[in-house]
Structure 1
Amino acid sequence: MEVCSLGLVELISGLSDGNTLLLALILSTMAMLSTTLGGLPVALLRGRDSGRSFSMLVDIGLGFSSGVMFVASFTSLLIPAIEDFGLPLPISGLVTGALVIHGVNAIIPHEHLIKGYEGPAGALRKLRAAWLVALAVIIHNLPEGLSIGVATAFEVRDAITLGIAIAIQDAPEGLAVALPVYATTGSLRRAVLYAWLSGLSEVVLALPSAALASLSASLLPLAMGFGAGAMIYVVSHEALPETHRSGHENKATLSFFSGFILMLALDTMLG
């Protein structure tokens, strides 16, 4: 398995041919495709409301994604930045990333699957619920696209490890996006479209973040810390609390550790 994993790293590295923007495009496109494909299993549902089973699948998927994101924040971003640039700049970026996502979370109206509406009160009546859900997913995915872009400007192998990990965890995340849309509309096309849009947001942010981080080496420790802080904030404030609201805490926690262990294994095999 390790040989196959290393072969994948070499393949992606060869395709990018040392071009940072091309590598960011390849990795973020992998994540987008994984998110889209993750939404397809909703076709197996029968009816518009799968009740507790629907909620359980969402919690398990978000738990797994959270485990991968949490470890990746450290192994692919924060620890390499501290090892190469020292503590102050990466930690400054970490705090800034968390604060920025907190601000985005407060300003942009969005709808959580269980928690419900969050954002300015006046915007609730102006936006349809489906778009509120889509905005929530985009907020969740912003740190992932940002982190892919920043990592490509630092070290190719770490970036590919991170990109593969995000692509893996994006499959259950795509299902978590598509399930509520399908449950409320009964439209497979719309459910998969929303999953695709959530993945597309990663591509949109990965490219400019890669370009910006490539401009100056002095920006890298701040940018890597920023990406880590943004992802950790999403896991702590958004994803994990959402998995503990409907009685599936044990399954969500087991799923979290599954993602946690998988990311550690990937980092060991590919790093």
Structure 2
Amino acid sequence: MTLAFVVALLAGLSTVVGGWLGTQRQLLRRDALAASLAFAAGLMITISVVEIAPVAVRSLAEVVGQRGALVWVGGALLLGALVVLGIDRAIPHDVNLADLEGEDAAAVDGRLLRSGILLAGVVTLHNLPEGLATFVATLQQPTGGIALAVAIAIHNVPEGLAVAAPIYAATGSRARALVWATLSGLAEPFGAIVGFLLLQTLLPEEWVVLSLALVAGMMLAVSFLELLPAARRYETHYSQSLVGFFLGAVVMALSLVLLAAPTS
């Protein structure tokens, strides 16, 4: 069990690597920032549409049938999007962050900060079931669990970058950006322990699947309502957002191929 926890922890902490990349000043150029935000959107949309939603439908179809599965997963996606909308409305849009943090207000972009915090919350939720998957796989077969953790770590790096870049751009604080990236990664070992304890109490599997669909809806909402508009706002040429989005989709697709490898 110790090995399984350590593997889940290391996979989660790969977001720190991405967080460090997201605090490099060259990424604060308008073109690089636009590309990185679009990259994050491509990442999130791809895993939601290509992986999470289809897997949820297939799993639930065995319990409630194909039509019922589509209804349940669609409802979970919608609820996830509504949760993001609620969180978005709860975060003040015109807060003078300098009054709260003692910083120069001119150096803080409130919209970018909101995007980064929203994304950090969604990535945290997304990492919870990943941690559980890594933990359980390592308990059952250490070699397969480690391979799964490596694949998860690969796509956790760009997730950490996606969290840290807008927060660093908004505040200029590397420490704050790295803290948010680290916290989002620590959700994996937390999810491993909590999820395993829930499984011990025979939690129905369909609820776990629906929680993934809920997170997918949240990722889609953040991508379309926050990340893509922000990328368009900072781009100096439309190709920057297009290339960033395409690369994000490709990186996630490749990481999903690696994720499937241990079970093949």
Same fold (TM over 0.5): yes
**Preserved CA contact (<8 Å) 2:44 2:220:** yes
Shift of 1:153: 3.0
Shift of 1:89: 3.2
Shift of 1:77: 2.3
Separation in structure 1 between the aligned mates of residue 77 and residue 7 of structure 2, nearest angstrom: 24
Verify: 1:170 aligned to 2:155, yes or no.
no
Residue 132 of structure 2 aligns to which amino acid in structure 1?
A: A
What is the total number of aligned residue pairs between the two structures? Answer: 227
**Preserved CA contact (<8 Å) 1:97 1:228:** yes
Structure 1 residues 152, 93: CA separation in 2 closer, same or farther (over 3 Å shift)?
farther
Alignment of 1:119-198 (within 5 A): 123-124=95-96, 127=100, 129=105, 130=108, 132=110, 134-154=113-133, 156=137, 160=149, 161-171=151-161, 173-182=163-172, 190=173, 192-198=174-180
Identity value in percent: 19
Shift of 1:252: 0.9
Separation in structure 2 between the aligned mates of residue 250 and residue 151 of structure 1, nearest angstrom: 33
- 5+ unaligned residues in a row in structure 1: which ranges? 1-14, 46-52, 110-117, 183-189
Alignment of 1:1-271 (within 5 A): 17-19=3-5, 22-39=6-23, 41-42=24-25, 54-86=29-61, 87=69, 88-109=71-92, 118=93, 123-124=95-96, 127=100, 129=105, 130=108, 132=110, 134-154=113-133, 156=137, 160=149, 161-171=151-161, 173-182=163-172, 190=173, 192-203=174-185, 205-206=187-188, 209-211=191-193, 213-214=195-196, 215=198, 216=203, 217-246=205-234, 247-271=236-260
- 5+ unaligned residues in a row in structure 2: which ranges? 62-68, 138-144
1:194-225 CA distance string (max 9 Å, x none): 22122033145445555554412242022111
- TM-score, with normalisation over the residues of structure 1? 0.70
Structure 1 residues 259, 136: CA separation in 2 closer, same or farther (over 3 Å shift)?
closer
Separation in structure 2 between the aligned mates of residue 166 and residue 209 of structure 1, nearest angstrom: 15
